[in-house]
Amino acid sequence: MAGSVAAVVVAAGRGVRAGGELPKQYRQIAGEPVIRPSLRLFAQHGEVTFVQPVIHADDGTLYERAVAGLRLLPAVFGGATRQASVRAGLEALQGRQPSVVLIHDAARPFASPALVTRSIAAAAATGAAVPSLPVTDTVKVIDDSGQVAETLDRARLRIVQTPQAFAFAPLLAAHQRALAHGREDFTDDAALAEWAGLEVAVFEGERSNTKLTSADDFARAEAAQLAALADVRTGSGFDVHPFGEGDHVMLGGVRIPHSHGLVGHSDADAALHALTDAVLGALAEGDIGVHFPPSDPRWRGASSDRFLAHAVERVRARGGAIAHLDLTIVCEAPRIGPWRDAMRARIGEIAGVALDRVAVKATTSEKLGFTGRREGLMAFATATVRLPWNAP
């Protein structure tokens, strides 16, 4: 097919029906915000040239954090309605003149690359096409009093999804015409295209391509995702660093004022080192010394965040998620209690794990051994990691 293919992914809604504190497209499913797989689908598809995200003006920070590393056009801000948001995305693409545009809702994170391929082919063949599924339930029309007025012939009914696929120029023209006529109420682009007189074809959708709308949808999707991550593994990690000169220690990524520092090649954060080894242990992918050799001058004095972030990235690369991190620090001093929540927050931030999945505990060794003599401290960690089940 001649010409380029663009995808507009709309994520500008407030998603209040889903409950929770975040707009639904930024809520996590199996360890990543919903919007990320929705955008990644197109960013990594070989037939899609441009991906144009449309976001809410209040969500810039959430958005940047959610999409780090994906190949996308700069996001544009949406409008008050879905239709206005799609129009903003189309107008942003005007200078690039793609031949085909796919319109997708960020709240459908489970669409497959095969569906994208079908949608591009359908748009090339027909100019306007939507993925659809047959209706298996009987559908009735009710009257104003709530009584059944009519039973529809379900053989003629279809549920439609996104990505909806169109020749670019006619869809943009249809959107601009709708605006000029004061029509801002279309709930999907196919309805707008029909109003504008375009013929809209259907192609085969996907049952798994569900739209996350209610709190219930999220609970079901999370359960399905977790069920797919059935390979549950536990890794353990352990680390020791001696005290030396200094006025603070780094522990769990937090700077804690102390009468001594910790000695080590990096910043000597024994807590993050133990956590890193625990995650690598769950993956059976060696240990921190294999991934970051102490002989490498790059890690001299390095902040240990990167070690844990690297191990977490290995989990993601294998399609997995971290279910839980548990850390125990053994020392006589400094006191850990006052810093516990700051450590949990920082570890959760580095690992992309919710706060209620990060535990930090501390104990002394009752003045016994090297920790009792205040010569150093040690840290133990356990990581619970879920990976997709691949039959051995």
Q: Output 156 or 298, the one with its CB closest to Mg ion.
A: 298
Structure tokens at 192: 């707008």
| Least Cβ distance, residue 303 to Mg ion (angstroms) | 13
| Least Cβ distance, residue 392 to Mg ion (angstroms) | 33
Q: Output 131 or 252, the one with its CB closest to Mg ion.
A: 252
| Least Cβ distance, residue 294 to Mg ion (angstroms) | 9
Phi/psi of residue 61, nearest 5 degrees: -70, -45
Phi/psi of residue 249, nearest 5 degrees: -120, 155
Q: Output 195 or 238, the one with its CB closest to Mg ion.
A: 238
Q: Output 239 or 305, the one with its CB closest to Mg ion.
A: 239
How far, in Å, CA of 60 to CA of 225, rounded? 27
Structure tokens at 390: 């691949």
* DSSP SS3 for 324: strand
How far, in Å, CA of 290 to CA of 296, rounded? 11
What's the distance, CA 210 to chain centroid?
16
Run of H or E including 28: strand 28-29
Q: Output 272 or 362, the one with its CB closest to Mg ion.
A: 272
Q: Output 54 or 377, the one with its CB closest to Mg ion.
A: 377
Q: Output 268 or 385, the one with its CB closest to Mg ion.
A: 268
How many alpha carbons fall within 13 Å on the CB side of residue 385? 32
Residue from 231, 214, 208 nearest 388 by CA = 231
Who contacts 357 (Cβ-Cβ below 8 Å, separation ≥6)? 322, 323, 324, 325, 348
Residue closest to Mg ion, measured at CB: 273
| Least Cβ distance, residue 84 to Mg ion (angstroms) | 53
Structure tokens at 156: 């003629």
Structure tokens at 60: 């810039």
Run of H or E including 171: helix 168-180
Asked if residue 179 lies in contact with residue 186, where contact means CB atoms within 8 angstroms, the answer is no
Q: Output 161 or 382, the one with its CB closest to Mg ion.
A: 382
Q: Output 183 or 258, the one with its CB closest to Mg ion.
A: 258
| Least Cβ distance, residue 315 to Mg ion (angstroms) | 20
SS3 for 262-328 is ECCCCCCCHHHHHHHHHHHHHHCCCCHHHHCCCCCHHHCCCCCHHHHHHHHHHHHHCCCEEEEEEEE
Residue 49, amino acid: T
How far, in Å, CA of 37 to CA of 197, rounded? 33
Write down the residue that tokens 């144009």 correspond to.
52
| Least Cβ distance, residue 270 to Mg ion (angstroms) | 6
| Least Cβ distance, residue 263 to Mg ion (angstroms) | 10
| Least Cβ distance, residue 380 to Mg ion (angstroms) | 13
List contacts with Mg ion (CB under 5 A). 239, 273
Q: What is the largest CA-CA distance in the chain?
A: 83
| Least Cβ distance, residue 271 to Mg ion (angstroms) | 10
